[in-house]
């Protein structure tokens, strides 16, 4: 099988040349365009998630040989969650080579966080099936780069930290209120307020509710500090 010009360029961007190009073709094929003769990337995504997890768990243990399980778990979650995978996918412009159905293309699928994260995991699995664990690990460590070394010592997400702050002071869990929504339906922008029982509040804007909630919680924690 011969890859298209855009997929050859993608191979250059990730620094890996496939011996079985059909694996890469499948990794970038979304369910919206699959058929009986064209398999989608969902099974590869399932496998890639597990490969990524093992590589990151090993890397974190090697990076900090004294860390407890309680310290390692949030760091691990920060590195393997869908947002992290999508961030890496954007850096290598994975969205540009995704094979999408018309509906997904019209709704901005190439920019969707969940879709990009899933495809990133599928690419990892494709490399794993093409050349084995060591090749997949090398790809992951190179693409994630300094994220592994710079992950916060306490990488709990901001919402969790804010809730613990409130509970420690006898307050109810924070409330997250959608203040505004703008942009087209396929690429909405949300403004969310994180609000505590005592009236403290902070707002943030992002391309998904989850991101906006996290950013608002982080902003509020900064005010409280």
Catalytic residue positions, numbered = 49, 121
CA distance 150 to 153: 8
Tell me the Ramachandran region of residue 29: left when phi exceeds 0, alpha when psi lies from -120 to 50, beta otherwise: beta
User: What DSSP assignment string belongs to 74-94?
Assistant: HHHHHHHSHHHHHHHHHHTTG
Residues near 2 by Cβ (< 8 Å), separated by ≥ 6? Answer: 21
CA distance 48 to 50: 5
CA distance 88 to 133: 19
CA distance 5 to 173: 52
Which stretches of 39-153 are DSSP H helices? Answer: 42-63, 69-80, 82-91, 102-106, 113-131, 133-144, 147-150
Question: In the numeric block, which tokens belong to residue 19?
Answer: 């011996």
């Amino acid at each position: 099988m011969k890859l298209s010009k855009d997929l050859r360029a993608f191979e250059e961007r990730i620094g890996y040349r496939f011996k079985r190009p059909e694996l890469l073709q499948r990794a970038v094929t979304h369910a919206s365009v699959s058929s009986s003769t064209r398999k989608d990337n969902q099974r590869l995504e399932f496998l890639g998630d597990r490969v990524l997890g093992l590589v990151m768990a090993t890397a974190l243990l090697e990076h900090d040989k004294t860390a407890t399980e309680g310290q390692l778990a949030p760091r691990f979650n920060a590195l393997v969650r869908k947002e992290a995978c999508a961030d890496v996918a954007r850096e290598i412009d994975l969205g540009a080579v995704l094979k999408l159905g018309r509906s997904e293309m019209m709704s901005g699928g190439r920019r969707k966080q969940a879709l990009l994260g899933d495809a990133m995991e599928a690419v990892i699995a494709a490399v794993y099936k093409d050349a084995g664990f060591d090749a997949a690990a090398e790809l992951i460590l190179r693409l994630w780069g300094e994220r592994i070394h710079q992950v916060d010592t306490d990488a709990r997400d901001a919402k969790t930290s804010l809730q613990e702050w409130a509970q420690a002071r006898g307050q109810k869990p924070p409330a997250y209120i959608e203040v505004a929504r703008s942009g087209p339906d396929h690429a909405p922008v949300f403004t969310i307020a994180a609000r505590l029982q005592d009236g403290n509040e902070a707002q943030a804007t992002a391309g998904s509710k989850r991101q906006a909630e996290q950013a608002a919680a982080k902003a509020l924690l900064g005010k409280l500090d």
